Structure 1
Amino acid sequence: MPKSINENFVQKLAEANTKYEVEQKNNRILSQKLELEQKQKEKNRLIYVSSLIFGLALLLAYLLYKRKKQLNKENKKYLSELNRNKRLQALVKQNANSPQKVKGIDDPNFKTYIQDILTINDDIFEVYVELVKGKSYEEVANTIDNISLSGAKTRINKLYEALKIYSKKDLDEKMTKSQSIKIFNDLYVEYQLK
């Protein structure tokens, strides 16, 4: 019988050894599985952080682009205003040298511009043009059809009232021909800068 105890012992020892090896193998598999999960988590974290950094870089690039575009727009506006001011100064200087002549009086577009600004009609404008050219009221009345001497004077007074309103002068103050020419020249400068 001692052999059977020995066999029994060897069998139990073999079973214990097999059980031990299976547990070792299961522990290795579990350890590898945990290691793979850990690597996957790190990979996911890396992808998340990279995506976040990329998104922030895109946002920053967009904000810088918008800022540059806004600065370019402001710069163009500034340069345009600067150029307009230089042209205005040149025109004002040019007009200061010849105050008794209305600039652009024969320009049909300027005529339309003046009529819109001052809300006057063709008759009033025509009478003024003839007066500025040096004609007297009598000559104007003879030049323009269907206008009497008093009609010519009435039209000029209406024009002077419109000029006073436009230039924000006191309506009771008398306007001279030279003042009206200066206002017209200023209006012509505005017209040229449009």
Structure 2
Amino acid sequence: MTPRHVTWALGLGGLLLIAPGCMSGARNLGAATTPAGTTEVGVSVNAVAFERGRERAYLPSPELTFRKGVGENWDWGGRLTLLGLELGTRHRLVERSPWTLSVAPSAGLWYVPVTNNSTEPVNLRLGAQALLDYRLNRTWTITGGASLMGTFAGPLTVFQGRFNGSHLLALPGGSLGVAFRLRPNLELRAEGGLELPLDLRDGRRQPTGHVGLTLRWRRADAR
């Protein structure tokens, strides 16, 4: 892995962010599961992209993440942002050096504090992401991801039992991440991705881009 490759990957993420959309979908995950008996904690800065009138606007989105190793081939965890909470598991399906393949189902509740022609404040998400790691060496790892999420999007009146203006969306997407192992227990990961929202009633919406940067460290659980 050369600096040129890193620059290319980060540049791709930046281009994806230019796509119009509503909010970040960065997950900042690799395919390698957290070892049993350890916990990973991370701090992320992702980008939230939304429409403001006819223009696009962007805001940083701080995020806290955690993953806890449970068994030999799976872990669980979540991410907490200023806009919502997501919880899920990750299951390693195949590991053949230098490749690792995993699937990560998740569910989340998000509040989108901006409105436009295609954004509703309340978002409930349920779906899964397939993750494929390619380890270049002990330091560098490239991760490709493919996801399919189902989303219920509605106004704040859904909490009062009124669902006028609600929509059901399918969101296929893809992502590309690059991880650099600073130390055995410390990792820096950059990620960029794209989602293609499809309203099941009204058709295709504007694509959504995201970028994210995460610093994650691992520690052994106290006994």
| TM-score for the superposition, normalised by structure 1 | 0.23
Greater gyration radius: 1
**When you count helix as a share of all residues, which structure comes out higher?**
1
**When you count strand as a share of all residues, which structure comes out higher?**
2
| TM-score for the superposition, normalised by structure 2 | 0.21
